[in-house]
Amino acid sequence: MDFIVQLLITSSGYDIVMVVVDQLTKRAHFVTNKAQDVVMRYRQDIVRLHGLPNVILSDRDSKFTSLFWKKLCELLKVEQKLTTAFRPQGYGVTERLNQVLENYLRAFSNADSDDWNKHNSLPKFAYNARFQAAIQMSPFEADFEYIPRIPATLNLPSQPPQTTKHSEFILRQFDLLAKARRCITVAQERMVE
């Protein structure tokens, strides 16, 4: 989890983007926020879809090292892991994703840059539909077993799950997640070397 801060305040009062990336599926969420609403928006946009995490990995920003954040994690029984200072490989995916998102928001915002909050759904979809080398599939495939259709792909065949049997779907989902775990392990071992 990370935050993109020092953005111009939008006409709606938004001033930060909360970036949350699932370590297994690499699925990302970009949640526009007002600084004072972070906990509420985390509950609405992340916990509602995925439940509480077992672990939150973040950098050593003061937001994550504050007593409030430590107590919140303790209360929710969420382990808090902080990356080693000045070691971007421990947190590189999120940092690179932040840079890409910031560039996208700058490119698509109006001249006053006060409407950036209206433009974060497309990069979120594009990122989640894109092949990720670390898991050898897209985050959508790891999470849903297919990439959702969009108007640009109407002429391409869709790939929803091919079975209606729940047990087969669940077994395939376990296989996909096991593959993602193996790929993540290999990628992490390569980073250590």
pTM of structure:
0.75
Q: Are 149 and 158 in contact (CB under 8 A)?
A: yes
For residue 128, the tally of other CB atoms under 10 A from its CB is 22
Mean residue pLDDT of the chain comes to: 82
Residue ranges of the domains in the chain?
A: 1-129, 131-193
Q: Where are the beta strands (DSSP E) in the chain?
A: 2-4, 16-21, 28-33, 55-58, 79-82
| pLDDT tens profile 74-107 | 999 999 998 876 555 556 778 888 888 888 888 8
Model pLDDT for residues 2-34, shown as the tens digit of each residue? 989 888 888 889 999 999 999 889 999 999 988
**CATH code for the domain defined by 1-129:** 3.30.420.10
